[in-house]
Amino acid sequence: MLLRLALVFFALGCTVRPLHAQADGVEHWVVQHPSDFATLPAPIRSSLEQRGCTIAQDTSRHRPHNVIRGQFERPGQQDWAVLCMRGQSTQLLIYWESRVARLDSLSVDIPRDHPDIEIADPTYITEHAEFYGWPDSLPRSIVHYGVELGSGCCSHIYYREAGRWILTPGAD
């Protein structure tokens, strides 16, 4: 599995660096530099590099992740979300309208052994809000994507509404 993912990253021209080793010594997380993500717009890559960001990659997954593009503020607007790791801190960076000049930076506390972000579509957000109890601050009509932080147990969804972030339960 690790070899297969390494070959995918190699084929994409990515540089793979160890992040975390399991107790049995098998590495399952690696970090990559922003320059390894060819799909990122050049100004965003440059911004991430200037910040000293690295991006965690789970070697059990078959494609690069923790860099996502979606409509996180309003329908039709293309935004980028990146899980930036620097030393012991982790930030969720959102580049609104794919522009470096419009940046939100959220300090997030996630398990260092399982950093992950995914797109949460309106249906997913609605289903989880209905199951876990609809937060008062979350609008009843979910019209764009959110960013799910973490995976499996205990994830959270960040949803942007009226210029502010709303935190709601994700998977449990």
**Cα distance between residue 82 and residue 72, in whole Å:** 12
| Length of the chain measured in residues | 172
**pLDDT value at 13 more than 70:** no
Element (H, E) at 133: none
**pLDDT value at 3 more than 60:** no
Overall average pLDDT of the 159-172 stretch: 90
Give residue 60's pLDDT: 77
pTM of the prediction?
0.81
Q: List, for residues 95-144, the tens digit of each pLDDT value.
A: 999 999 999 999 887 655 567 899 999 999 999 999 988 888 999 999 99
Element (H, E) at 77: none
What are the respective helix, strand and coil percentages of the chain, to the nearest 5?
A: 20, 35, 45
**Cα distance between residue 77 and residue 71, in whole Å:** 5
Q: List, for residues 38-81, the tens digit of each pLDDT value.
A: 999 999 999 999 999 999 888 777 778 899 999 999 999 999 99
Give residue 27's pLDDT: 54
CB 31 within 8 A of CB 19: yes
Give residue 120's pLDDT: 96
- Report the side by side order of strands in the sheet with 17-21: 17-21, 27-32, 55-58
Give the model's confidence band at 4: pLDDT under 50 very low, under 70 low, under 90 confident, else very high: very low
Q: Which of 22-26, 32-36, 68-72 has the highest mean pLDDT?
A: 68-72
In the chain, where are the structural domains located? 42-53+61-169
**Cα distance between residue 120 and residue 157, in whole Å:** 7
Give residue 152's pLDDT: 64
